[in-house]
């Protein structure tokens, strides 16, 4: 594709690709020079041009010579728009899910429901790119725009027709999930997280609203979980943006959740759809999993799914890695569950999900990530101690912070909690204390297979460690 045809500038240069890292620029690349939290891409414009960039997308005040300067006050958005044209075409049906918690499970369950309904489907998010045949890590919930568009276009070439992806607040704010035509979008819930980046809850929420007010074309359906404090505002703003709104939950009109009853291996849901009652045997433990599967079902219906096929698929969804995943049962008979919960709200949901299944005590092991929102740490401690019988505070991903200081911040809100710095030792201590009838929850890292300490990533998989110490 010529630059003239792509960007409307007077240049016959052939565009071969896009890059936001100057080290990945090749002859024919369009280089995106953006100001980041650590580096300013504008500083690398001369190097990118030397390496063969045929154009640079940057702010109007950036210094660009020798190649066309595609200037824009919002260069990330301009870069995304151009890249989207270059990498097209994409799968026919693409949906996006935003919210604080539940995005990973919802996109993966949407993929599963589609697959069981006869579609070749994929999900993109925290777990990477997942199809029925493979899973490839991408490193971020919403990868950079070049990786994202390349992945989605690659799925089209593989014959995938349906894709569900996680739209994180970072990704939405930084225009990392643009350009792919959306058939529908969904909202799960909203609670405190990522204030180290967004600074205020208002800014955090507005980043998520971009999905409905800027990315989702008018007239396309928005699926909203009704039972969150922000749900009414999301519904109102989605309608104002011209979307058909499909609601699911206890106040849902598309799918109404009438009753939830926990069972030994999952839960029974009483639902209403089309004014008819349905009894769903959901093979997933955890009340919040009902929210995830109903939101996924809403997306399936929003993309021309038939209720009978969707309902049948809901009864067969499989657990998602690191989301209330039962890793092992100890020799004493206590199951150990692994969950990605790393906010106060998510801890509340995970512990609350397990509580109905506890005959004895609930033992919670968790920490908090370094270089992230510090204000949530005592809140997490307070939730854990209020809802658990035994709390063990340990290290998560301390990154560049002093792990002891992170633990101290959590313990300030967790009176009576135990402190065990080493994560392996903390899990082992929980196993040592667990008896028959108890349940152990190891929260915070979920599917992750590494622990970030300083600038190193050390091998650490909560599920694997749990099995090793329980042996």
100 is in an annotated binding site: yes
- Find out whether 396 is annotated in a ligand binding site: yes
Does some domain include residue 81? Answer: no
Residue 68 has pLDDT above 80, yes or no: yes
pLDDT on residue 392: 98
pLDDT of residue 364: 98
3-state SS, residue 23: helix
Residue 78 lies in a domain: no
Which domain CATH number covers 210?
A: 3.40.1190.10
In this prediction, residue 55 carries a pLDDT of: 98
> Is it the case that residue 137 has pLDDT exceeding 90?
no
Number of folded domains that form the chain: 3
219-272 pLDDT tens trace: 999 999 999 999 999 999 999 999 999 999 999 999 999 999 988 778 999 999
User: Domain containing 37: what range?
Assistant: 3-73
CATH number of the CATH domain containing 445: 3.90.190.20
- 391 in a structural domain: yes
Q: Is 303 found in the same domain as 393?
A: no
Q: What is the CATH number of the domain that holds 32?
A: 3.40.1390.10
Q: 330 and 305 in one domain?
A: no
> CA 363, CA 389: separation in Å to the nearest integer?
6
263 annotated ligand-binding residue: no
In the numeric block, the tokens 């955890």 are attached to: 286
Phi, psi dihedrals of residue 245, rounded to the nearest 5°: -105, 125
Q: How does pLDDT run across 256-314, given as a tens digit for each residue?
A: 999 999 887 789 999 999 999 999 999 898 888 999 999 999 999 999 999 999 999 99
- Indicate whether 116 and 180 sit together in one domain: yes
Reply yes or no on whether the pLDDT at 142 is more than 80.
Answer: no
Shared domain for 283 and 386, answered yes or no, is no
164 pLDDT more than 90: yes
Is 104 annotated to bind a ligand? Reply is yes
* pLDDT tens, position by position, 26-51: 999 999 999 887 889 999 999 999 99
Query: Both 209 and 279 in a single domain?
Result: yes
At 312, which helix (H) or strand (E)? Answer: helix 307-314
- Same domain for 22 and 153? no
Is 397 known as a binding-site position?
Answer: yes
Do the annotations mark residue 448 as ligand-binding? yes
Asked if residue 135 has pLDDT above 80, the reply is: no
Statement to judge: residues 436 and 295 lie in one domain:
no
- State residue 458's pLDDT score: 97
pTM of the model: 0.81
pLDDT at 178 over 70: yes
Query: Is residue 463 over pLDDT 80?
Result: yes
pLDDT digits (tens, 9 = 90+) for 84-133: 999 999 999 999 999 988 899 999 999 999 999 999 999 998 888 999 87
Same domain, 61 and 109: no
Domain shared by 155 and 53, yes or no? no
Q: Is the CB of residue 54 less than 8 Å from the CB of residue 6?
A: no
* 12: Cβ contacts below 8 Å, ≥ 6 apart: 2, 3, 4
User: Is 105 marked as a binding-site residue?
Assistant: yes
372 marked ligand binding residue: yes
Which of these three, 73, 98, 131, is where a domain ends?
73
Position 159 pLDDT exceeds 70: yes
Read off the pLDDT of each residue in 192-207 and give the average, rounded to a whole number. 78
Report the pLDDT value the prediction gives residue 198, as an integer from 0 to 100: 62
Domain-embedded: residue 83: no
Give the closest residue to 130 by CA, choosing from 392, 322, 406, 413. Answer: 322
Q: How does pLDDT run across 4-24, given as a tens digit for each residue? A: 999 999 999 999 999 999 999
The last residue of a domain, from among 260, 285, 314: 314
Half-sphere exposure of 320 (CA within 13 A, CB side): 26
Give the pLDDT mean for 410-431.
98
In a shared domain, residues 231 and 334: no
- H helices, E strands: number in the chain: 16, 23
- Angle of the 344-354 helix axis to the 287-302 helix axis, nearest 10: 110
What pLDDT score was predicted for residue 287? 80
Same domain membership, residue 452 and residue 370: yes
Per-residue pLDDT tens digits for 331-384: 999 999 999 999 998 899 899 989 988 999 999 999 999 999 899 999 999 999
Assess if residue 82 is contained within a domain. no
What mean pLDDT is predicted for residues 161-184? 92
Return mean pLDDT, the chain: 94
66 sits in the region (left: phi over 0; alpha: psi -120 to 50; else beta) called: left
295 and 369 both lie in a single domain: no
| 3 state DSSP class of 289 | helix
């Amino acid at each position: 594709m010529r630059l003239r045809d792509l960007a409307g500038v007077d240049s016959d240069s052939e565009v071969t690709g896009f890059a936001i890292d100057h080290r990945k620029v090749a002859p024919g690349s369009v280089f995106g020079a953006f100001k980041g939290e650590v580096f300013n891409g504008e500083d690398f414009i001369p190097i990118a041009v030397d390496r063969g960039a045929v154009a640079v997308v940057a702010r109007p005040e950036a210094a660009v010579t020798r190649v066309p300067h595609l200037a824009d006050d919002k260069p990330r958005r301009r870069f995304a728009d151009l890249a989207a044209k270059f990498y097209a075409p994409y799968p026919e049906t693409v949906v996006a899910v935003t919210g604080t918690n539940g995005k990973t499970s919802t996109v993966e369950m949407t993929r599963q429901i589609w697959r069981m309904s006869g579609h070749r489907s994929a999900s993109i998010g925290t777990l990477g790119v997942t199809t029925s045949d493979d899973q490839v890590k991408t490193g971020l919930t919403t990868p950079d725009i070049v990786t994202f568009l390349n992945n989605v276009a690659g799925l089209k070439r593989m014959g995938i027709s349906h894709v569900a992806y996680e739209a994180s607040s970072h990704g939405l704010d930084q225009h990392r999930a643009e350009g792919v035509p959306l058939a529908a979008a969904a909202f799960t819930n909203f609670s405190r997280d990522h204030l180290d980046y967004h600074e205020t809850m208002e800014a955090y929420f507005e980043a998520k609203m971009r999905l409905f007010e800027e990315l989702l074309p008018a007239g396309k359906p928005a699926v909203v979980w009704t039972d969150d404090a922000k749900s009414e505002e999301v519904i109102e703003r989605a309608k104002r943006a011209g979307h058909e709104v499909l609601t699911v939950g206890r106040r849902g009109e598309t799918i109404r959740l009438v009753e939830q009853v926990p069972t030994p291996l999952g839960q029974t849901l009483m639902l209403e759809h089309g004014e008819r009652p349905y009894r769903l045997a959901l093979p997933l433990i955890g009340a919040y999993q009902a929210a995830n599967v109903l939101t996924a079902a809403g997306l399936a219906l929003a993309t021309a799914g038939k209720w009978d096929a969707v309902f049948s698929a809901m009864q067969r969804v499989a657990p998602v890695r690191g989301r209330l995943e039962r890793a092992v049962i100890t020799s004493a008979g206590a199951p150990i569950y692994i969950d990605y919960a790393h906010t106060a709200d998510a801890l509340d949901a995970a512990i609350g999900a397990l509580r109905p299944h506890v005959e004895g005590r609930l033992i919670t092991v968790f920490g908090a990530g370094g270089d992230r929102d510090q204000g949530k740490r005592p809140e997490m401690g307070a939730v854990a101690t209020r809802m658990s019988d035994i709390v063990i505070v340990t290290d998560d991903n301390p990154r560049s912070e002093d792990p002891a200081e992170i633990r101290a911040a959590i313990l300030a809100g967790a009176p009576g909690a135990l402190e065990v710095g080493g994560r392996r030792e903390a899990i082992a201590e929980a196993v040592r204390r667990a008896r028959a009838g108890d349940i152990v929850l190891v929260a915070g890292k979920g599917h992750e297979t590494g622990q970030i300490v300083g600038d190193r990533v050390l091998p650490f998989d909560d599920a694997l460690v749990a099995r090793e110490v329980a042996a």
